Amino acid sequence: MATTTVSPPAATTNDHGNHAHHRAWPGRPYPLGATWDGRGVNFAIYSENATRVELCLFDTVDSTTESRRVDLPEQTDQVWHVYLPDCRPGQIYGYRFHGPYEPAKGHRFNPNKIVLDPYSKEIARGVRWADELFGYKVGDPQADLSFDERDNAASAALASVIDSAFTWGDDKFPLTPLHETVIYELHVKGFTKRHPDIPEELRGTYGGIGCEASIRHLQSLGITAVELLPVHHHVDERHLVERGLCNYWGYNTLAFLAPDVRYKSADFGNTVHQFKTMVRNLHAAGIEVILDVVYNHTAEGNQLGPTLSFRGIDNAAYYRLSPESPRHYMDFTGCGNTFHMQNPRVLQLIMDSLRYWVTEMHVDGFRFDLASTLARVLHSVDKLGAFFDIIHQDPILSQVKLIAEPWDLGDGGYQVGNFPMGWSEWNGKYRDCVRRFWKGDGGVIDEFATRLCGSSDLYGWNNRRPHASVNFVTCHDGFSLRDLVSYDHKHNEANGEENRDGSDNNMSWNCGAEGPTNDTNINALRARKQRNFLATVLLSQGCPMILAGDEIGHTQNGNNNAYCQDNEISWLNWELSDDQKSLLKFVQDILAFWHEQPTLQRRRFFHDRATRGTSVKDIQWFNAAGAEMADSEWKVGFARSLGWLLRGEHIDVSDQGEALSGDTLLILFNADHAVEVGFVLPQCEGSDAWRLKFDTFDPRDTTPSNHAFGSAYKLRPCSVAILLAVKNTDPKLPA
């Protein structure tokens, strides 16, 4: 179809006759986006294949059409730009792009459609679903090959020009080393919505996360970093909205520089300032902010999706199209499209976004959703791709925390252990192995031991450190911890997809009853297993991650895919039972222990050889008889118990050159649900006895007790015991 042009609307001013507001100067191609310089606003936007670009200015968010259109006559290096000397912060705007509408060739320009600036920093109005948002005639027999001439100005997403000035005061990045980091994955709304100590007007908002009650809870746990589920502005899919649901998690991004307006409080300034205030408050408490970011795809979906931004700006430039059929998209994400990382301008957008969130918003790092997609060159994943090269040489981004979700849905997309130095990864193999071990599966103790030690098989081969492994058992995607021990099967009926969505491979066990039960024995076992999982994560070498709510036994009623549940299914309930309070106390205590123990925060892998200055190994493994594990014992299918000795002497040297040492620990695991193990306690050179610190079978029993070498410790079914080597036995302590 030939290029189409649109005449200006009848109303051509927003200045009530003041024609000085019509002034438009050439402007500059950089920076991209709408930039207020104190005198006027520069607008710049990239499009390689457009033939004409119009800036559309709106009076209010409820305007059904723009009050003025401004042609961008200047184009420099494929960037269209204009400077409006009379424009001010608060101006609402969008764009119209002219060019060919030829889906078979990958072009989908439609100037009847207002599109959102990819560099928007404040969203003035979100998408209002209507057929007019689609570039083609919805329901037409030719589907997306047709051309829709209806105007979408009343329903399109719009941006607002902002003044980014903010008083940071003495804000400082906490710069917590990764080996000393404890990550807490949370949803802004889900964490705060039902918290009784958060002011009502702040519940569900950035302000709620940054308020005293939230920070007090995080500090009581010993959390050093919150990892926020996506807070980039996103779109709720139409089919969800029409069913009364939404994309609660937010993995459907539309604007990579704009904080999601849904978490804004109505009474406390613009969204950007509210986000910055949250970060400033968390930093003041020593807590870092990590963002879960989605750069692998956008909210526009496949060829039948709406025209909201990138598709209408330059479809062929922003998306990876099928070489055989450019009408269709390459899809490595399962979301309909894949961002075109091979285009330097698209790569620039992502890098500009990342730098903006660090330099302007003061975040401390990123977790990259489906990160394997970002590394795909043609079809294969290339860990040395341009994306990684640019980040590694960037003086800003190379210094923040970089965490990959190391898989996508394409062939060869499972890349756990294959990301380059400087990156940490969600360790999916750790999650699966630990779940299998505590489920009671046999034949996994050899891998379990490797995972406890930081997964050197995955990360040691290319000189990475244990903190490359982000150790977790649960995350937002899947069962909560309580549901992991309460359900054999997913129960996603509330999602409206007849329970077909969500994973069927949960490696869970309901302990004898599906869902809630009054059976005291089953409930006691479930509580113990929750403690075991949390203890294992915090005792493992690497970077521990806890899902918000797991410390208080949050349940989603068996829903393992609550992505669309913006309600009590997902919101944390802070009215705690006695059992939940007991679990919270246990997590607080064991996290405090973790912070006290350099032995659990090693920067280097164990070597299974003599530590510096001693004649003993830095790590040893024992069977229940108190003897070191023989090679043949690691593959025994019935083995479900294991003893792990970690030497605390001469662990490392601090940044100040001081010798680091910690306690020598003996950690005993028994994954059998019925059998008690009389675990013979091994000798420990330089010590006199073992002192019990924790036993997950009954965490309420905190009476200190010493245990002699060679004695048998009663390691009860499905439990973990932690003992410290002590040099001076207190005769008053019971043996």
Nearest to 353 by CA among 301, 310, 294: 294
Predicted local distance difference test score (pLDDT) of residue 10: 38
Nearest to 424 by CA among 283, 290, 251: 290
What is each CA distance from 597 to 591, 647, 653, 661, 696, in whole angstroms? Answer: 10, 11, 14, 9, 18
Predicted local distance difference test score (pLDDT) of residue 2: 36
Is 369 a residue of the active site? yes
Total Cβ atoms within 10 A of residue 60? 12
- What one-letter code names the amino acid at 698? D
Predicted local distance difference test score (pLDDT) of residue 269: 83
Catalytic residue among 369, 425, 483, 550: 369
Nearest to 187 by CA among 234, 243, 122, 255: 234
If you count DSSP H runs as helices and E runs as strands, how many of each does the chain have, helices first? 15, 31
31 contacts 44 by C-beta, under 8 angstroms: yes
- DSSP-derived 3-state class of residue 306: coil
355 contacts 345 by C-beta, under 8 angstroms: no
Is 200 a residue of the active site? no
| Alpha-carbon span 89 to 84, nearest angstrom | 12
At 572, list the tokens: 């944390």
- Given a cut of 50, the residues of the chain with pLDDT beneath it are 1-20, 611, 735
580 contacts 552 by C-beta, under 8 angstroms: yes
Instruction: List b or e across 219-256, with b for residues whose CB sees 16 or more CB atoms inside 10 angstroms.
Output: eebbbbbbbbbbbbbbbbbbebeeeebbbbbbbbbbbb
Predicted local distance difference test score (pLDDT) of residue 471: 98
Q: Which residues pair with 424 in a beta bridge?
A: 403
Q: Which residues pair with 603 in a beta bridge?
A: none
Predicted local distance difference test score (pLDDT) of residue 14: 39
| Alpha-carbon span 587 to 576, nearest angstrom | 15
Predicted local distance difference test score (pLDDT) of residue 105: 97
CA 254 to chain centre: 17
Predicted local distance difference test score (pLDDT) of residue 658: 67
Predicted local distance difference test score (pLDDT) of residue 654: 66
What is each CA distance from 568 to 207, 295, 435, 557, 574, in whole angstroms? Answer: 20, 29, 26, 10, 11
Predicted local distance difference test score (pLDDT) of residue 58: 98
| Alpha-carbon span 121 to 208, nearest angstrom | 21
The tens digit of pLDDT for each residue in 501-538 reads: 999 999 999 999 999 999 999 999 999 999 999 999 99
Q: Is the dihedral of CA 248, 251, 398, 416 positive or negative?
A: positive
Percent of the chain with pLDDT over 90: 83
694 contacts 721 by C-beta, under 8 angstroms: yes
Nearest to 96 by CA among 42, 48, 152, 142: 152
Predicted local distance difference test score (pLDDT) of residue 6: 36
Catalytic residue among 227, 236, 405, 618: 405
| Alpha-carbon span 320 to 310, nearest angstrom | 12
372 contacts 392 by C-beta, under 8 angstroms: no
At 113, list the tokens: 């459609």
Give the pairing type, strands 33-36 and 41-46: antiparallel
